[in-house]
Amino acid sequence: MMDHQPAKILVLKSGWLTTVQDLGRYGYQHYGVSVSGAMDSFSTIVANRLVGNPDQAAVLELTLKGPELRFERDTVVAITGADLSPSINGHNVPMWESLAIQRGQHLSFGMPHAGARAYLALAGGVEAPLVLGSRSTHYASKTGGLHGAPLKPGDILYSGTVRPFVTQQIGRRLPVPLRPRYEHSVTLRITPGPQQNVFGNEAPTTLTGTTYTVSPQSDRMGYRLAGSKLVRKGPAEFVSDGTSMGALQVPSDGQPILLMADRQTTGGYPKIAVVISVDLPFAAQLAPGDRIAFAPCTVAHAHTLLRAHRAQLDADLPPCDSRSQLIPPLNHRHESF
C-alpha cells in the first residue's frame, strides 16, 4: 500500500536531453531572465492534472530519447506528449493516464513514434529550488532545475509532498478526443507580428504560401526554418525589443526563426508574425526535418480558440487546485516583458 512519502528516483540513464520544467519564469524578461519552462504547456498541464498536482508543478521534459529511472519508493506518475515508447520493467505502459509505479521498478523509453518531447509528472511534483518563482531549467544560464543542468546518470530526484488522495488518481485518463495527434507536417496559425510593416507586400503571402523545414540548427531557444526567403523593404538595423514564444524573427538572410521556450529576452530582428497560443504545443513537438505551413488568423479568433480549448480541458479534466493555477492569462502569453 502506498505510504504517501515523497518519491525518490535514481537516474540510471539520462536520455538525450531531460530537464526539470514547469510553466515558466514569467515577469523577469526586463532583467534579462529567459522565461524558459516546458516547450509543450498543454502536455505539462495534463500530466500534472492526471496525478493530482496543480498545473504549475514541475515535471520532467524528455527529448526524443528518454531516460531510464529507478523508483526507490511507490508513487503515481503520468506520461504525456510525445510517444517515446514508455515501459515499466520492460512492459509497455499507456500514455495520457495516471499509473502506479512500485519501489524497485524501472521506467524506461524506447523508439520515438510520434512527437519530440514527452512529459513525466510525479505525484507531488518534481522537487527543485524555486528561482524567481519557477523550477524550470534554463541550462544556458545554469538557472533552476537540478543544478541548472540536464539530468545525468547518478542524479537523484525527489517529489514534493504527496497528497493523501493520490491513489484515487490511478487510472485517471485524458479523454481520447482531447489527445493531440503529432505529425511530421503541421499547419500553425499566425497573427501579424509587430514589425510586419517593414517587409515587402509579398512577404506575408510568401510566408503563408511556403512549406518550411525545421533545420538541424534548432533547439529549445528556437527553430531555424529553411524555405522561401522573406524580403524586407525597410532598414537593415532595428532597436531590440522584447520577444515572445511563437514569434517569427527574420534575420538578414530572410530565413525565419521560430522562437521557443528558451528564447533570448530581446531581439533585434524584425518579427513578421506570431504563432497563436493554442498551436504552440504542436510546434513544441517538432524535430529537425519536420515541416511547417503557416495560416493567417486574427487576434480575436486566436483568443476564442484558446478560451474554447481551455474550457474543454477544464470540463473533461478539471484542475486539481483551481486556487493555485498559474496559467498565464491571455494577455500574458505573448508579453514583451
The torsion defined by the Cα of 147, 45, 113 and 176, in degrees rounded to 10, comes to 160
Contact 95, 84 (CB under 8 A): no
Q: Does residue 329 surpass a pLDDT of 80? A: no
DSSP character at residue 289: T
Rounded Cα distance, 96 and 182, in Å? 14
Question: How do residues 239-290 score in pLDDT, each as one tens digit?
Answer: 788 899 999 999 999 999 999 999 999 988 999 999 999 999 999 999 999 9
DSSP three-state, residue 199? strand
- Cell digits of residue 79: 506520461
Q: Where are the domains of the chain?
A: 8-178, 185-296
What pLDDT does residue 3 have? 59
What pLDDT does residue 6 have? 86
CATH class as words, domain 185-296: mainly beta
Strand order in the sheet with 59-63: 18-21, 59-63, 114-122, 75-83, 98-101
Rounded Cα distance, 73 and 125, in Å? 14
Q: Does residue 43 surpass a pLDDT of 50? A: yes
Q: Of 215, 19, 194, 217, which is closest to residue 117 (Cα–Cα)?
A: 19
- Residue 139 phi, psi dihedral angles, 5° rounding: -70, -20
Rounded Cα distance, 203 and 217, in Å? 23
Rounded Cα distance, 60 and 202, in Å? 42
Instruction: Quickly tell me which residue has 523593404 as its cell.
Output: 233
Beta pairing, strands 185-192 & 291-296: parallel
What pLDDT does residue 162 have? 81
Rounded Cα distance, 281 and 81, in Å? 9
